Structure 1
Amino acid sequence: MFREMRRKNQVLSPEESIAVLKKGTSGVLAVHGDDDYPYAVPLSYVYHDSKIYFHCAKTGHKIDGISRNSKVSFCVIDQDQIVPEEYTTYFRSVIAFGKARILEDEAEKRAALEKLAERYSPEQEQGRLQEIDKLFKQVCLVELAIDHLTGKEAIELVRKKELHGCV
């Protein structure tokens, strides 16, 4: 169902791909947009237990796209170093393919929102819980259950790992 990567020697392992998701703080969600145009939007997220969670308004382009077709993709760029003298970039990125669903159950929604808030304000437990209580009814939480995860890095990064015995 999902395509295999052509440059197999540049594929990140599942563990490396998950590490990119855990490390990242923003990514780009792509949904089925209006008039069959893709709609891609950057957003903050948290990765937890093979799922990606993000919050948004209860209405808008993103929610309309998810309601129209739950199949989405989500891209996180871990590294993008331009190397002008080599006419290339040293990149590392991950794309998750999966199905998005709006969390309706209040317990699920609160648990996801708490994970998200903890990711961005780990030292502010009291403040983040107060903020969640204040905005809980207004916010929409979306869960992306990952069906397929793929990552790739520049050949130069692969060679660097091989040189240092990391592969």
Structure 2
Amino acid sequence: MEKIVSRVELSEDPALPGEILNKAESLFVAFQTGDFPYVLPFNHVWLDGRIYIHCALEGRKIDVLRRDGRVGFSTAVDVCIIREKSTTHFRSLCGTGRVSEVTDTEEKRRALDAISLRFDARCPRPTPDAALARVNILRIDVESLTCRHKNGPRRKDKE
């Protein structure tokens, strides 16, 4: 009888992080609270090797990131449960980085325009200054990044 062994593969493909981040609907970001991680989902965009997310001007996440800007993040795409084989196929990304508030008006506008374009938001582009003043843009400078994929059998062993 032939046995099919499925493995999770660590990817070395430099294009894969962008592919995953550009396809993912949400990015889960874990903030450092000192006690437990504070994990929230965000709309995001991948620009020039950085991740941009938008949020409110104030609140718990802003308080937390101002104390400690270290974050972890994760997302997955192409998730398909294969029940008859008791496995799941996927492409995923996990990483760490430092998050900061974007204060440069043009960088903030570029990131918000890219987010609104990516999610087909019905808002004017370029983003007007008045709208920029009502939103916070956070930039994650990536320090580590790992992509994994499991897309089916990788090798066959005889039993």
TM-score (norm 2): 0.81
CA deviations 1:123-164 (Å, max 9, x no partner) are x6xx4227644422110000011111101122x5362xx8xx
1:15-164 to 2 correspondences below 5 Å: 15-33=15-33, 36-121=35-120, 127-129=123-125, 132-154=128-150, 156-157=151-152, 159=154
Instruction: Give the structure, 1 or 2, with the largest relative contact order (CA under 8 Å, sep 6 or more).
Output: 2
Structure 2 vs 1, CA of residues 36 and 150 (structure 1 numbering), >3 Å: closer, same or farther? same
Unpaired runs of at least 5, structure 2: 1-6
Count of residue pairs the alignment pairs up: 149
How far is 1:72 from its partner?
Answer: 0.7
Is the contact made by 1:30 and 1:72 (CA closer than 8 Å) also made in structure 2? yes
CA deviations 1:61-120 (Å, max 9, x no partner) are 221221121111121111221111111211221012111110112222112212212222
Percent of pairs identical after alignment? 29
Higher helix proportion: 1
Is the contact made by 2:8 and 2:149 (CA closer than 8 Å) also made in structure 1? no
Unpaired runs of at least 5, structure 1: 1-7, 163-167
**Rg larger in 1 or in 2?**
2
TM-score (norm 1): 0.78
Q: Please give the alpha-carbon distance, in whole angstroms, between the structure 1 residues aligned to 2:116 and 2:32.
A: 27
Structure 2 vs 1, CA of residues 158 and 143 (structure 1 numbering), >3 Å: closer, same or farther? farther
Q: Which residue of 2 aligns with 1:4?
A: none
Higher strand proportion: 2
Structure 2 vs 1, CA of residues 97 and 112 (structure 1 numbering), >3 Å: closer, same or farther? same
Provide the alpha-carbon RMSD of the alignment.
2.4
